[in-house]
Amino acid sequence: MTLETASPNPADRIVILGKVAGTFGVQGWIKINSYTDPPENILEYEELLLGSPGKWTTVRLEDGRVTGKGVLGKLKGVETPEDARTRVGAEFAVKRSEMPPLAPGEFYWSDLEGADAESTTGERLGKVDHFRSTPGGTMIVLRGEREVWVPFVKERIAKVDVEGKRIVLDWSLDWS
């Protein structure tokens, strides 16, 4: 089954959870570059979407584990390294509605994508484009007149309004 990514219903929005990073062993296992926190949470989904925006196919994880090599998974119907190799580079995703519910005040990073970002003084910083993991920590990447990277740490987050698609950061464009 192939699914499209565009949907007027936010609950149907596709959220990328990881990527097939390589193959492992001789029985069709794959290495998974997981974007979930913690990384092994991606294994909690029995069914995932596999592919790329606009070209999703439903797949089942029949097994998975975390090793010293990272997160490994076994897709149903993938039995050989050659089969697994054809999936390398494909992304894993789910519909937003299939993600676990959150406690009040919590949010998924993907819920902030597209939100307007401004400083505590009202300066427009741009729109939230995506988040980037760096050796120094997670950065929120904003796009406006120019690209701005802001450390995504508690000290920099003044207010998050998921429903209003707005985030207020203790930041200034002069600092970038």
Which residue segment(s) compose the domain that 57 sits in? 2-97
Do both 68 and 137 map to the same domain?
no
Q: Are 76 and 123 in the same domain?
A: no
- Collect all residues with Cβ–Cβ distance below 8 Å to 124 and sequence separation of at least 6: 116, 117, 118, 144
Same domain, 36 and 13: yes
CA–CA gap between residue 19 and residue 156 (Å, rounded)? 29
Q: What strands lie across the sheet with 124-134, from one edge to the other?
A: 147-151, 137-143, 124-134, 116-119, 166-169, 157-161
Q: For residue 151, what is the DSSP state? A: E
**At 121, is the secondary structure helix, strand, or coil?**
coil
Do residue 136 and residue 87 come from a single domain?
A: no
Res 6 pLDDT > 50: no
Q: Give yes or no: residues 14 and 38 share one domain.
A: yes
Report which of 110, 103, 127 is spatially closest to residue 162, judged by C-alpha positions: 110
Question: Does one domain contain both 80 and 129?
Answer: no
pLDDT in tens, 121-172: 999 999 999 988 888 888 999 999 999 999 999 999 999 999 999 999 999 9
> What pLDDT score was predicted for residue 10?
65
| 9 and 78 assigned to the same domain | yes
131 with 143: CB under 8 angstroms? no
Q: Nearest-CA neighbor of 21 among 67, 77, 80, 90?
A: 90
pLDDT tens for 55-89 read 999 999 999 999 987 999 999 999 999 999 999 99
Does one domain contain both 73 and 117?
no
Same domain, 7 and 91: yes
Question: Got the DSSP string for 59-105?
Answer: EEEEEEEEETTEEEEEETT--SHHHHHTTTTPEEEEEGGGSPP--TT
Q: Say yes or no to pLDDT of 3 above 60.
A: no
Q: Tell whether 103 is covered by a domain.
A: no
Residue 2 has pLDDT above 90, yes or no: no
81 burial level (CB within 10 Å; 0-12, 13-18, 19+): middle
pLDDT tens per residue, range 94-106: 999 999 988 888 8
Q: How confident is the model at residue 4 (pLDDT cuts 50, 70, 90)?
A: very low
